[in-house]
């Protein structure tokens, strides 16, 4: 009897296990599948957010580059306007020089004709020759006076003729120099127009890239929004599946309570711990790390960059000016860096300062924005005087020393020019 009862009990336990197994299998499979979908969606959302962040960063970089190119273009347009103004002024000087040259030639020719006419009257008037005029003198004193008068007239004519010829040659040389400077300005204008076209093309290309970034960003944000919505739906489905699984587990535990009194404890423990782990595993640590990772370093860098540079003294500026004068007469070479074998205007300024341990940018445009701004009325020897596409070093007495065009010295090369504002002065900068 006891053996039958034991067999019946074993049979009930086995049958009850077969009944409970199908009930638990379906919810657990559904929860596991939902979790896999949620994790996959999370990865997609994270990838989409990273893509959006990357595109936004690339767009900001492109906008910063475009802003820099735009600023460079604006500065170039200022140079072009100043150069056009200088060319108009230079053309007026050339026109005046041509007028002065024509006048000098006319004065020379008139003086020459007047001299010939006086010679004719003195030596060839009537039938009386010069020697007859001398012989007709009434006394030695009269003879000396007549000879002295003739000599004085001759000396006066020769002196005036020499003066007119000198004036004519000076005006002619001035006109040649002005025309050489005008040709240099025209070449500079062509180069600036080429730079302008290149900058405009670059700016157009960058704006197109920015517009493309906007399009990509809009698409990426739309995809991220769709994936986030899908993740939300899957999270809600997972929550429902977990709740259903918990309900089924509770029902199964309640049904099996008479047979296995403590079977519900392990199931409840296994259900609650993983869910807590999932809910807290990706909470807020990454976002906190991102927010604190690069918080104050850029500001500290800006504070260091904003420290004012310590200016030098007038004695050092005078030494810079004197050093520049030591190379007067050496030749000009575009792009050159040798003070003895050839150098251009910005290279000359850079190399002179370099001899005193002072760092100066290489291009004339960069030199115009570097150093310390100085008023034109307050500039001192050693200051850098900046024009449209050109720079020089002020040496005092309203004069600069600079590397000019490729013409032989003194027309070109390293030379001095006065006044310092012979062209429009765009800025005066001090590096010492």
Write out the catalytic residue numbers: 345, 390, 402
**Nearest partner of 101 among 171, 195, 193, 15, judged by Cα:** 171
Q: How many CB atoms lie within 10 A of CB 360?
A: 20
C-alpha to C-alpha distance for 148 and 201, rounded to whole angstroms: 79
Q: Is the peptide bond before 419 cis (omega within 30 degrees of 0)?
A: yes
Distances (CA, A) of 154 to 114, 119, 124, 129, 167: 11, 8, 15, 17, 20
Rounded to whole angstroms, what are the CA distances from 120 to 107, 125, 126, 134? 20, 7, 10, 16
Q: Which residue has the tokens 């190399």?
A: 351
CA distance 401 to 323: 10
Q: Bridge partners of 342?
A: 338
Q: How many residues does the chain have?
A: 432
Round to whole Å and give the CA distance between 411 and 346: 18
CA distance linking residue 406 with residue 411, whole number of Å? 8
**C-alpha–C-alpha distance, residues 393 and 403, integer Å:** 10
Q: Find the helix or strand (DSSP H, E) in which 425 lies.
A: none
CA 135/CA 183 separation, integer angstroms: 63
């Amino acid at each position: 009897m006891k053996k039958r009862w034991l067999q019946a009990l074993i049979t009930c336990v086995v049958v009850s296990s077969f009944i409970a197994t199908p009930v638990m299998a379906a919810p657990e499979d559904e929860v596991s599948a939902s979790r896999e979908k949620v994790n996959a969606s999370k990865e997609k959302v994270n990838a989409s957010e990273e893509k959006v962040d990357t595109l936004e960063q690339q767009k900001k970089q492109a906008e910063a580059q475009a802003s820099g190119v735009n600023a460079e273009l604006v500065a170039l347009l200022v140079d072009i306007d100043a150069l056009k103004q200088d060319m108009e002024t230079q053309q007026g000087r050339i026109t005046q020089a041509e007028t002065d040259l024509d006048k000098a030639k006319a004065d020379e020719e008139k003086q020459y004709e007047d001299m010939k006419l006086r010679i004719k009257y003195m030596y060839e008037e009537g039938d009386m020759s010069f020697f007859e005029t001398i012989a007709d003198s009434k006394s030695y004193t009269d003879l000396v006076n007549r000879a002295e008068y003739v000599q004085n007239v001759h000396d006066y004519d020769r002196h005036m003729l020499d003066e007119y010829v000198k004036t004519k040659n000076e005006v002619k040389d001035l006109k040649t120099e002005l025309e050489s400077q005008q040709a240099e300005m025209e070449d500079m204008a062509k180069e600036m127009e080429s730079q302008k076209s290149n900058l405009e093309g670059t700016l157009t290309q960058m704006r197109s890239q920015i517009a493309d970034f906007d399009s990509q960003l809009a698409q990426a944000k739309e995809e991220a929004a769709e994936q986030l919505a899908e993740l939300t739906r899957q999270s809600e489905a997972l929550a429902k599946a977990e709740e259903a699984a918990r309900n089924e587990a509770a029902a199964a535990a309640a049904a099996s309570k008479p047979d296995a009194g403590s079977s519900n404890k392990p199931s409840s423990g296994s259900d609650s711990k993983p869910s807590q782990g999932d809910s807290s595993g990706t909470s807020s640590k990454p976002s906190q790390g991102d927010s604190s990772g690069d918080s104050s370093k850029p500001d500290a860098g800006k504070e260091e960059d904003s420290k004012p540079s310590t200016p030098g003294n007038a004695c050092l500026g005078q030494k810079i000016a004197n050093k520049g004068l030591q190379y007067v007469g050496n030749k000009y070479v575009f792009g050159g860096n040798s003070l003895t074998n050839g150098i251009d205007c910005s290279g000359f300024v850079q190399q002179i300062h370099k001899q005193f341990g002072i760092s100066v940018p290489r291009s004339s445009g960069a030199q115009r924005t570097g150093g310390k701004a100085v008023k034109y009325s307050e500039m001192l020897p050693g200051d850098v005087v900046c024009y449209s596409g050109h720079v020089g070093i002020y040496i005092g007495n309203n004069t600069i020393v600079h590397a000019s065009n490729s013409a032989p010295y003194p027309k070109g090369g390293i030379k001095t020019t006065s006044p310092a504002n012979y062209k429009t002065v765009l800025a005066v900068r001090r590096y010492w």
